[in-house]
């Protein structure tokens, strides 16, 4: 029987995690092949940048049309390689990419064009300044398997519209989805050397980091992200790192239990819990606790687990048995420390080796592994808390800070608590959907990473900002040039007083002292 990942003679095998079916065998790119891809991208990027933003936007519009026409086919490709239900692939991947294209089509020209810089300093009033946004060059992207289409596609579209070339190294578990993205982009008019996919495992990612790229965007584990940051620091390579989360959900005593419990179930089990934004910790006010966990357990037991190609499936398989082992170890540790298992808590071998039952745990404590380590699987641990202060303290008691949610009928109260939570995004009365808001930045604090993707701030990550200064009096020597002397010192003191003295009299006296500076003899 084929294993989920086979690497032999520099080959990898893409496997359907639900059925074990071998989808395709691919050659791994070696160090030389990765470097060659970047070398090819260099001159191609120059020509791509010279097209101008309006032409690149037109190509994105064509990509959007092609993706929309193939939306079901692409979603099914995602399901076969990742396992999530087709409907979920449509909503959380295809829709996200279509809308990201929409945002860039509508806004990229305005966000990338030159920006005038006004000069408030009187000494620089004869200058004209503006900000020029230039592409970095070749952007390397290392993307994960859990959202194998939406994550690399949204990052790639921003990089391309800004005039960069992209070399993408997808997860070795999901290379076919990346190749589907390449087919769509090339079909829309992106030159083949401007967007390239290099297939391989970790060694290919390391080779991309060593290649002469101009920036790296990485999504993955904290441990790998730290190694990348250290290697990038050696050459001052700029990076964007999205390194996962342990996202808390805070349910206050005035929350709607029916709505909040449904949100917790979806937030914990979407993509079989394999989402950096999934609900991995839930803190519920004591007055609602029993009602809340009972509702979550009842709804969880109604979820239909199976092959994502089945239209009735709510939760598909996990990507690989290694992920199942992590989930299993966290749940078993929690059981050993006395949690109540209200739903699930075991594998589903009758469905296949990558299936784990959606699980609800009650009576968890903050010290358990299930509340500290990223589980990345279909588990919802729920803990009671006494008040808002305790909920916020527990939410912030984590090395991660990607996202969080607050559930309350009082919007202002929710906003106040949101400001106290250490996270890149806090949603009030919703979970996860922030990733699908194309205008909103995505990224975290603490060990959840550095930098942002999506929206205006994500587009800013794809450009270098240059300040361009034009002097409008090219035939005039500047008053601050050599020579100095006592008179010049006195005039400069007056000039500072003229601009910054606290009183009108002080400013007028300063103006008198500054008079004559333009008539002094200079070198």
Average pLDDT score over residue span 123-150: 96
CA dihedral of 135, 136, 138, 141, whole degrees rounded to 10:
-100
Catalytic residue among 276, 296, 385, 434: 276
Tens digit of each residue's pLDDT (9 = 90 or more) over 257-282: 999 999 999 999 999 999 999 999 99
Across 244-248, 471-475, 477-481, the highest mean pLDDT is recorded for: 244-248
337-342 long-range contacts (CB < 8 A, ≥24 apart) are 337/365, 337/368, 338/363, 339/363, 339/364, 339/368, 339/370, 339/381, 342/293, 342/294, 342/296, 342/297, 342/300
pLDDT tens per residue, range 174-202: 999 999 999 999 999 999 999 999 999 99
Instruction: Based on the residue annotation, tell me whether 461 is a catalytic residue of this protein.
Output: no
| 5 confidence band (pLDDT: 50, 70, 90) | very low
- Does the pLDDT at position 2 exceed 90? no
What confidence category does residue 476 fall into, taking pLDDT thresholds of 50, 70 and 90? Answer: confident
Average pLDDT over residues 70-86: 98
pLDDT of residue 271: 98
Q: What is the mean pLDDT of residues 4-12?
A: 56
**Gap between the Cα atoms of 414 and 407, Å rounded:** 7
Q: For the chain, which domains are there?
A: 32-243+456-466 (3.40.605.10), 248-442 (3.40.309.10), 477-519 (no CATH)
Whole-number mean pLDDT of the chain? 96
Give the confidence band of 122 by pLDDT, cuts at 50, 70, 90. Answer: confident
DSSP assigned state of 167: E
pLDDT tens, residue by residue, 243-258: 999 999 999 999 999 9
Tell me which of 29-33, 121-125, 233-237 is least confident.
121-125
Task: Give the per-residue pLDDT at 479.
Answer: 87
pLDDT > 90: percent of the chain: 93
Q: What value does the mean pLDDT take over residues 343-369?
A: 98
pLDDT classification of 314: cutoffs 50, 70, 90 = very high
Q: Which of 242, 280, 374, 461 is catalytic?
A: 242
Structure pTM? 0.95
Q: What is the mean pLDDT of residues 297-316?
A: 98
172 as an active site residue: the answer is no
8 pLDDT band, cuts 50/70/90, is very low
Question: Is the per-residue pLDDT at 9 higher than 80?
Answer: no
Q: Which two tokens stand for residue 57?
A: 């936007």
């Amino acid at each position: 029987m084929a294993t989920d990942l086979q690497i032999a003679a520099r080959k990898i095998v893409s496997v359907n995690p639900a059925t074990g079916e071998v989808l395709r065998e691919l050659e791994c790119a070696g160090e030389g092949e990765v470097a060659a891809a970047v070398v090819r991208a260099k001159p191609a990027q120059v020509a791509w940048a010279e097209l101008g933003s309006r032409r690149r936007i037109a190509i994105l519009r064509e990509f959007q049309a092609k993706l929309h026409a193939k939306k079901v086919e692409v979603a099914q490709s995602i399901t076969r390689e990742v396992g999530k239900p087709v409907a979920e692939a449509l909503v959380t991947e295809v829709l996200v990419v279509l809308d990201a294209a929409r945002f860039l089509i509508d806004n990229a020209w305005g966000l990338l064009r030159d920006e005038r810089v006004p000069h408030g300093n009187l000494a620089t009033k004869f200058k004209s300044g503006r900000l020029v946004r230039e592409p970095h060059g070749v952007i390397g992207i290392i993307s994960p398997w859990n959202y194998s289409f939406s994550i690399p596609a949204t990052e790639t579209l921003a990089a391309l519209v800004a005039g960069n070339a992209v070399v993408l190294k997808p997860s070795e578990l999901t290379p076919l989805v990346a190749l589907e993205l390449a087919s769509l982009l090339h079909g829309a008019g992106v030159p083949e050397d401007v967007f390239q996919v290099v297939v391989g495992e970790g060694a290919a990612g390391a080779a991309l980091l060593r290649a002469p790229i101009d920036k790296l965007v990485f999504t993955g584990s904290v441990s790998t992200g730290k190694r990348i940051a250290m290697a990038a620091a050696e050459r001052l390579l700029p990076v964007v790192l999205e390194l996962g989360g342990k996202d808390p959900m805070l349910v206050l005593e005035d929350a709607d239990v029916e709505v909040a419990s449904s949100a917790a179930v979806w937030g914990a089990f979407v993509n079989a819990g394999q989402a950096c934004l999934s609900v991995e910790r839930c803190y519920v006010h004591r007055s609602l606790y029993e009602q809340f966990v009972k509702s979550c357990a009842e709804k969880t037991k109604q979820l239909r687990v199976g092959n994502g190609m089945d239209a009735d499936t709510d939760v598909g398989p996990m990507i690989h048995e290694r992920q199942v082992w992590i989930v299993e170890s966290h749940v078993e540790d929690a059981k050993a420390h006395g949690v109540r298992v209200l739903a699930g808590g075991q594998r589903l071998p009758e469905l296949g080796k990558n299936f784990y039952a959606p699980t609800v745990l009650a009576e968890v404590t903050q010290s358990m592994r299930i509340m500290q380590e990223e589980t990345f699987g279909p588990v919802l641990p729920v803990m009671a808390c006494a008040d808002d202060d305790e909920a916020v303290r527990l939410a912030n008691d984590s090395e991660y800070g990607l996202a969080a949610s607050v559930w309350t009928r009082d919007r202002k109260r929710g906003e106040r608590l949101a400001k106290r939570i250490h996270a890149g995004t806090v949603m009030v009365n919703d979970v996860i959907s922030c990733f699908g808001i194309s205008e909103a930045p995505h990224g975290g604090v603490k060990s959840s990473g550095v930098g942002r993707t999506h929206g205006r701030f994500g587009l800013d990550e794809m450009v270098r900002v240059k300040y361009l200064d034009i002097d409008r009096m090219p035939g005039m020597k500047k008053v601050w040039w050599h020579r100095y002397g006592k008179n010049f010192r006195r005039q400069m003191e007056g000039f500072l007083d003229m601009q910054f003295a606290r009183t009108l009299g002080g400013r007028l006296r300063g103006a008198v002292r500054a008079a004559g500076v333009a008539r002094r003899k200079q070198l």
